[in-house]
Amino acid sequence: MNRSAIWLYAPAVVLSALALWILLSLSSTRIRIEQDPDGTRWLSSGEVNLPHTVVSKSLVVPESAKRNAMGRQLDPAAFMISHDWIKEMAMFVLDDPDDPTPYWLVSSKDPARLVQAFVPDQAEAALRASQRSQ
């Protein structure tokens, strides 16, 4: 065999890097907060949207409480955006008679900032509650 080893290893390295990039891009979740001209703020991720008007309570779930929130206490009807490598979450309890979803759990590197941006009138209470639970 008179071919150089580079022709064997170069495609393997390039294809591995491409596969890694595809997996990372598929695992990243974009969370956006947008505001309509009428003042309604929307929490959006992919095709799902949540208006701030149906959020009755919000909480910052610290790392110490994440296991309970994701374990036995998890309601099967809850909506979740969760990544194991992100240690904190924001919880938005819903009061919407048209939607059976009791709450949203959203992984966030900065859940306090997420709550502040989405439901600013509830942010202070959410931070106080999370500090008591730590």
Dist. CA 59–CA 102, nearest whole Å:
14
Q: pTM, whole model, 2 decimals?
A: 0.75
CB 73 within 8 A of CB 98: no
Segments in the chain below pLDDT 70: 1-2, 130-134
Residue 123: predicted pLDDT: 78
Dist. CA 107–CA 95, nearest whole Å:
21
